[in-house]
Chain A
Amino acid sequence: MGDRLVPAALNRRDFLFGSGMGLGAVALSSLLAEEAQAGVLSPRPQHIPAKAKRCIFLLMEGGPSHIDTFDPKPKLADLHMTRFQKERNKFEANMNTGERYYVRSPFTFQRAGKMGIEINSLFREFSGVVDDVCFYRGLKAESVNHPTALYHLNTGNQFGGDPAVGAWSAYGLGTENQNLPAFVVLPDVAYPQGGSANWSNGYLPAHYQGTPLRPEGTPILDMRPPAGVTTERQRANLDLLSKLNAIHKAQHPEHEELAARLESYELAFRMQAEMPGVVDLSKEPAKTLEMYGIGGGEKDVDALGRRCLLARRLVQAGVRFVQVIAMGWDSHDYIEKAHGTRIQVMDRPVAALLKDLKRTGLLDETLVVWAGEFGRSPDNGIRRGGQAWGRDHNANAMTVWLAGGGVKAGHIIGATDETGGAAVEAVHPLKDLHVTLLHLLGLDDNKLRYLHAGREKQLSQTGGALIRELLRA
């Protein structure tokens, strides 16, 4: 795959196709048409045949507790409030040491699906779709600190600044709709810890950067002009700009970047016209809205429902990678209330997303991933009173789940120990999950490289292994 090793300076091609988001229109110009095949965002063949062509990544920010969601530990009921001392150790954070208590899960569990997986009883809707899901309990992260763990999950590197999984996917596969960004992020009410570096293009060209769509107001920054600027006024200004640029270009015929920059303005205004249609959920049938919990009176369910439905619309419109962020899982205290609320908020929208993808026939070709930056500990330091227990961070155990194209649905892979403290079966480091995600999208992590600062870099940093157990035969 030597041809993927595009040097950092793309020069002419880069400049020409920097405007790649509008290749359909750019192709009107014969100068550009000749190179259209090589556009930075035009669709590219997969490295390996794979079913999934796009990905929806549901990022549960804060670190959901596997013990209280998808991996119950009855043993903790016996150990509940058993006190023990965890020595301060060079490789433990202050938070996790000192006087500790095991704490039981405050939740009840139900058996769901044909496989009979035990999941939190609050999952009323999600319990109906578990047979489409592959639960994985063998993953280990490394960091117990939110921003570094989030960077690790999203970019493969605990140190911010590397390209996100979505950026790598767009780089590897291009995108199917040139009028929309290839990689879209749907943030929660606040940006996550570590900020926009979580969807950075890193050292990849800027075209692969995640575009956050804003939940309110203009979906893309400055997509609309300031108050008082009408389309008529804007168009008049744009026309003068085109004329001045044309005169200038005639004096610099050799300077090819000029055409691309000219075109990028036209493209921006096509995007300005098209994007509102894509993000407008009002045309969706009432039944669909209801299925996602939109307009059902629960504000948080409504908001996440909107993001999940928008995710479906975006992948349907040809966006390659959509990341939906749902925050608030960092339950150090009052886990019964805190996790209880989060589970109920997540339940309907996420179940609806899977049902909807299946209904529309998209699920076979869409990979859905649900993951937080780490799992939670079976024990707690009890910081706010006897009944207010929660759980601290735990990089040694977590549950992530996958659904859709190429995934071994209806299975539980791997296991944690009897308290949920550490993964003990089918154990893999986080980078192996990255290798597996790329594989499911038809990309080979070892081939998907980019030369930067003298090194061919890749998502897994130094190469990883496929988690074969997660793949459908």
Chain B
Amino acid sequence: MMMTLLPAEPEHLFTDVVQPALKKDCEGCHGTGQVLANLDLRTREGLLKGGMRGPAITPGKAEASLLYKAIAGIGDVQMPPGGPAKRLPAATIAAVKDWINAGAPWTTAASRKAWDYKPEDLWAFRPLRKPPIPPQGAPNPIDAFLNARLREKGLKAAGIANRETLMRRASIDLTGLPPTPEETAAFVNDKAPDAYARLIDRLLESPRYGERWGRHWLDVARYADTGGYSNDFERPNAWRYRDYVIRAFNNDKPYDQFIREQIAGDEIDPRNPENLIAVGFLRAGPWEHTAMSVEAVTRQLFLDDVTNSVGVTFLGLTLGCARCHDHKFDPIPTKDYYGVQAIFATTEFARRPVEFLAAENVRDIPAERAYMKAVLEDNKRSMDSFDIRVRENVMRKHGVSRVEELPKGVLQAALREKEGIRPDEFEQFKLYQKHQQIYRESQDRYEARAFSVSSGPLDGYTDGGQNVKYPQAAQYKPPVVHVLPGGNIQSPAEAVTPSFVSAVTRYSGLPEPALPQSVAGRRKALADWIADPRNPLTARIMVNRIWQYHFGKGIAADTSNFGKMGHKPSHPELLDYLAATFIEKGWSVKAMHRMMMLSDAYQRASTPADAGLKTKDPENALLSYYPPRRVEAEVLRDSILAVAGELSPEAGGPGVYPQINDDVMKQPRHAMGSLQPLYQASPLKRQRNRRTVYAFQQRSLIDPMVEVFNGPTLDLSCERREASTVPTQAFALFNGQFVHDMALAMAARLEKEGGALPAQVERAFRLAFNRKPGAEELQMALQHIQKQTEYHRKTPPPSKSKPEQIVHTIVSELTGEKSQFVQKQDTRPYEANLHPSDVAPGTRALADFALVLLNANEFVYVY
């Protein structure tokens, strides 16, 4: 590696060099055997106290320390006795000097047991320097670094992939969608030398790019539209953060600015609406406070989530490990964890007024608002009907005809107790009451507010739920953060002040700016410190993530953990070269895409060229060929919609509700004390068939198709998608109603666009696989369609199912008995998908063929 070697950290210096020397060469006379000159070198206290000549060390000042002067031969005391011949090795003397200058830290067997990292584990903390490009290079520096390693191993790289393959790879990588046959044809026929470079530019300019790369960021940011836990209430304006992220990628917002806005946008410039939306990042984790929760606990849950999320997202540090004890594998003491946490001690929830931006999609807001208002009113009427009955009951009981005639207080008590309402009916009332609460929250999604934070409470716009008692801003004092041993809030230890991660300073030399103790400004200081080009972690983490999404695996394989437990980078110099270049190019993410995608390495074929690969590089760590991979859940769903011709290109705005599995849609789901309203797909195709990134992200109800294809957990930062193959994926893709519907839509599209049957089949291959079928494939497809047409001629399609009542059952808290409700359903007309009974047998047969294409390996893998 090209980095300058910093002196080993002082604790290691002590353990590895200083203490062994003291034991071997000094303690015989000054400790274990005898205590000459009254000097005992066995403990740090002994050194500080010193002997007849005064203290042996002055921490921080080696030149003034007797111990150092004596062993270095400076001054009148020289140790060990016996003149220069007996002098300690020069390296030992230097180590003692460095150690004293570093404050002479002393470790014990117990404290050493707590660390388990070595200097080489700390590579990511070392200062970032741009290494020289290896000689005999290639035009693209990435290739120069990679080829050097391939040469070392004697590995032959694969050639450049064909145009169709490249086109699909680049499109899916940058936009998350397969290319259209027309786009592919244009690229294949473009003979200009810069055709590929222009393709990349064009894809980077597509608004689909931000949707794709924004989704990557939303994974890391643990984004969802609801709060999780018991009620899983909607976070009405959370979607504005999602759109902010997508805009940031589309606009190639410099990454350092992106960091600053998300951590401290409100402190930097509260007049900038983007900034107020961006800090939604800080509270994107699951959070809820109810009458059953403890305020101190839920506040701590937020603080732990935000501390850990900032660490993982921006620094690649699992600070969470230091919550209970000093980090075992990384140099992060518990004190650092709570020091970072103290930065957020004054961060309060706020739903701040922020006018809708021109870039935001508010098209459906008036209609949706009106509809939700009607739903709310209808539900209110259902709720109120119980009170009407209570009034009637009470009046009958008291033999009066007007409520005014009732004795004082009787009506209020009866209403409170819902007198005369049977327990099972009371459950029904509770359901309406709960839905009222839920719909009221949803209404707020149409208000021009941001799901945001403030430093200290913001009178009038605080936002923690009805059970949180906010102090008035005027009386607010910054809460003091304590170290919580074992993470236990009931036994706080020493108080801490805001601080940074000490290891970064220690190993990289990045200066620590002053951290304010005041209410405001703490986060801004943190954001500046993270976005400082000298911070060794920030750029490395981000370029490594970008690399991962292009090559399937990071240069350092754990993109959110650069500590000891993360994998060491396969190409450390390349990583540093890219990180340094990223900063040089103004933190431009798009510049990184260009650099990576224009490399030969990115453009290689996915078939290995070297027969010896299995032994020389079985994991393809050296990237001698392009690693194929399965597409993510969202790409799969979006691609199905796209090739079926059903994808709605509309961008942004409040989350939409895609068509999901019917059983899951009907599944009763808890909301504290009652049930959630029914999940219902958006009635219009242009809404429900939008890209998956725009789907309403409900923590308690993840689209099962996204879930089964290894979608992200919405509760924790997701650094990398799994791609395991399980049979339930086959169920979703081969049996699921959505895919069947889309196959039928695709069949109708083929008939409309494609002329005779062979032409339709060819079109289908081009849409799904980005190539024309081989002769054998064409033959098979035609035979299949033929066979299925005969089948469908004999077999009538099922009739359309009628709308049905959805009856939900809940076990009553009150009686332990089950109560049933009919759940209310969306009353707006539903724009139905094409149904098998709408089409001829031949179309149904073509749909069978389309279903097969949507299930094929070639459709779900990128090569």
Contacts and interface: CB of A to CB of B under 8 A. Distances in A.
B710 interface: yes
Contacts of A240: 780-781, 784, 849, 852
B858 interface: yes
Interface in B783-823: 784, 787-788, 791, 795, 797-798, 801, 808-818
A455 B318 contact: yes
A199 B336 CA distance: 34
Contacts of B791: 232-233, 236
A226 B737 contact: yes
B851 A237 contact: yes
Interface string A210-244: 01001001101111111111101110111011011
A448 to B, nearest CB: 18
A94 B292 CA distance: 6
Interface string A327-349: 11111111001111110010000
Nearest to A194: B229
B724 to A, nearest CB: 4
Contact of B735 (A161, A205, A225, A257): A225
Given A91-B297, A300-B818, A233 B848 contact: yes
Contact of A221 (B672, B704, B723): B704
A254 interface: yes
B558 A454 contact: yes
Nearest to A267: B727
A161 B715 contact: yes
Given A224-B735, A454-B565, A334 B863 contact: no
Contact of B669 (A15, A190, A225): A190
Interface string A394-405: 000000000000
B776 A195 contact: no
B253 interface: no
B219 interface: no
A233 B293 CA distance: 54
Interface stretch (A18-26, A43-51, A287-295): A18-26
A42 to B, nearest CB: 15
A196 B848 CA distance: 33
Contacts of A28: none
A454 B563 contact: yes
A192 B670 contact: yes
Nearest to B419: A385
Contact of B291 (A21, A95, A265, A329): A95
Contacts of B290: 145
A362 B567 CA distance: 44
Contacts of A21: 726-727
A384 B417 contact: yes
B555 interface: no
Interface in A6-25: 7-11, 14-15, 18-19, 21-22
A363 interface: no
B811 A10 contact: no
A62 B292 CA distance: 13
A92 interface: yes
B728 A334 contact: no
A262 interface: yes
Interface stretch (A127-135, A245-253, A350-358, A408-416): A245-253
B286 to A, nearest CB: 7
Contacts of B813: 62, 328, 330-333, 338
Nearest to A457: B321
Contacts of B836: 228
Interface stretch (B255-263, B530-538, B660-668): B660-668
Contact of A91 (B489, B558, B728, B784): B489
B773 to A, nearest CB: 9
B565 A455 contact: yes
Contacts of A62: 813
A252 B607 contact: yes
Contacts of B734: 225, 234, 237-238, 265, 268
A472 interface: no
A316 B451 CA distance: 51
A14 B726 contact: no
Interface in B813-863: 813-818, 836, 848-849, 851-853, 855-858, 860-861, 863
B682 interface: no
A264 B670 contact: no
A197 interface: yes
Interface in B21-73: none
A62 B672 CA distance: 11
Contacts of A206: 710, 722, 724, 726
B814 A19 contact: no
B301 interface: yes
Interface string A170-189: 00000000000000000011
Contacts of B663: 214, 217-218, 221
A192 to B, nearest CB: 6
A264 B723 CA distance: 14
B476 interface: no
B697 to A, nearest CB: 14
A195 B669 contact: yes
A202 B712 CA distance: 10
Contacts of B661: 221-222
Given A144-B292, A195-B669, A252-B606, A221 B809 contact: no
Contacts of B701: 195
Contact of A454 (B329, B486, B851, B855): B329
B797 A241 contact: no
A22 B727 contact: yes
Contacts of B722: 8, 205-206
B490 A146 contact: no
B816 A95 contact: no
B816 A261 contact: no
Contacts of B295: 90
B334 interface: no
Given A92-B294, A223-B731, A384-B417, A160 B286 contact: yes
Contact of B787 (A188, A236, A451): A236
A221 B814 contact: no
A442 interface: no
Contact of A261 (B232, B291, B725): B725
A190 B675 contact: yes
15 contacts: A93-B291, A143-B297, A145-B294, A147-B229, A161-B713, A217-B663, A221-B663, A228-B798, A237-B851, A265-B727, A338-B814, A453-B719, A454-B318, A454-B563, A455-B321
Given A244-B852, A258-B857, A454-B564, 17 more contacts: A91-B294, A193-B229, A194-B229, A200-B713, A206-B724, A221-B731, A222-B728, A230-B795, A236-B787, A236-B791, A247-B776, A247-B777, A252-B607, A252-B628, A261-B857, A331-B816, A334-B423
Interface of B: 228-230, 232, 286, 288, 290-297, 301, 305, 312, 318, 320-321, 324-325, 329-330, 417, 423, 467, 486, 489-490, 553, 557-558, 560-561, 563-567, 606-608, 619, 628, 630, 661, 663-664, 667-670, 672, 675, 699-702, 704, 708, 710, 713, 715-716, 719-720, 722-732, 734-737, 740, 774, 776-777, 780-781, 784, 787-788, 791, 795, 797-798, 801, 808-818, 836, 848-849, 851-853, 855-858, 860-861, 863
Q: Which 8 A-B pairs have the closest CB atoms?
A: A328-B811, A341-B816, A18-B725, A228-B798, A454-B561, A190-B668, A268-B730, A338-B816
